[in-house]
A = this chain, B = another copy of it.
Amino acid sequence: MEPQWKDLYEDRARVIKAMGHATRLFMVHELEKGEQCVCDMQAKVGADISTVSRHLGILREAGIVTSRKQGNQVIYSLQCPCVLNFFNCVETVLQKNRQHTIHELRS
**Interface contact A16-B13, CB-CB below 8 Å:** no
Q: Is A54 an interface residue (CB 8 A)?
A: no
Contact partner of A20 (CB less than 8 A), chosen from B11, B16, B100, is B16
**Interface contact A12-B96, CB-CB below 8 Å:** no
Q: Is A56 an interface residue (CB 8 A)?
A: no
Contact partner of A63 (CB less than 8 A), chosen from B79, B87, B97, is B97
- Give 1 or 0 for each of A9-27: 1 = CB within 8 Å of chain B CB: 1111101110111111110
Residue of chain B at shortest CB distance from A21: B13
Give Cα A10 to B90, complex, Å. Answer: 11
Q: Is A102 an interface residue (CB 8 A)?
A: no
Q: Is A1 an interface residue (CB 8 A)?
A: yes
Q: Which residues of B contact A1 (CB under 8 A)?
A: 22-23, 26, 44-46
7 pairs of residues in contact across A and B, judged by CB atoms under 8 Å: A1-B22, A1-B23, A15-B90, A15-B94, A17-B17, A63-B97, A80-B89
Across the A-B interface, give the 4 residue pairs with the lowest CB-CB distance, nearest first.
A17-B20, A82-B89, A9-B22, A63-B97
